[in-house]
Amino acid sequence: MPLEPDPDLGWEVTMLYDEPFFPLTVQLVAWAPGVTSPIHNHATWGVVALLSGQEKNTFWQRSPTSEFSDRIELAADLLLSPGGILCLMPDAIHQVEAIGDQPTISFNLYGETNYDQRFEFDLNRFTAKNF
Ligand SMILES: [Fe+2]
């Protein structure tokens, strides 16, 4: 069965491999056209290969102030087309948007996720919560 985004959520993850006590996960991820992810980190390394669709990745970096330790600011963006590969370092903060009129499908490989350090960032409130 082909991978398709959930019609209600607008995205879908199929876990291909998740070995307990072994630091590696493999996923196929699909996003519906026009859907944008939260701004988030993975708190581990990752390799993303886009298989179909067009995916815009926007990168953010931490820019803390004395008042807001989880403040972030825009760093860069990258347009992924089929065959494009993105490497994420553990401190990477990004946001994914499926652009174009086709769903995206990507092959994702991640190291061991430290969920205590995985966050969703709120750009307007300068806050982060576990994701
Ligand atoms: Fe991500």
Per-domain boundaries in the chain: 11-130
- Distance of CA 112 from the midpoint of ligand 1 (Å): 14
- Distance of CA 43 from the midpoint of ligand 1 (Å): 10
pLDDT > 90? residue 1: no
Residues 16-60 pLDDT 10s: 887 777 788 899 999 999 999 999 999 999 999 999 999 999 999
- Output the pLDDT for position 37: 96
Would you identify the CATH topology of the domain 11-130? Jelly Rolls (2.60.120)
State how far Cα 105 lies from the chain centre.
13
User: pTM score, two decimals?
Assistant: 0.84
CA distance 48 to 23: 17
Q: What is the mean pLDDT of residues 62-80?
A: 96
- Distance of CA 106 from the midpoint of ligand 1 (Å): 11
- Output the pLDDT for position 59: 98
- Distance of CA 37 from the midpoint of ligand 1 (Å): 8
CA distance 49 to 87: 9
Q: What is the dihedral of CA 51, 103, 76, 85, to 10 degrees?
A: 0
- Distance of CA 67 from the midpoint of ligand 1 (Å): 27
pLDDT, the chain, mean: 93
CA distance 129 to 131: 6
- Distance of CA 66 from the midpoint of ligand 1 (Å): 27
Which residues are within 8 A (CB) of 48 and not within 5 positions of it... i.e. 6 or more apart? 80, 85, 86, 87, 88, 106, 107, 108, 109
Q: Phi then psi for 47, rounded to 5 degrees? A: -130, 125
- Distance of CA 116 from the midpoint of ligand 1 (Å): 16
CA distance 25 to 43: 13
- Output the pLDDT for position 65: 95
Under the banding of pLDDT at 50, 70 and 90, the label for residue 9 is: very high
Q: What is the mean pLDDT of residues 84-101?
A: 96
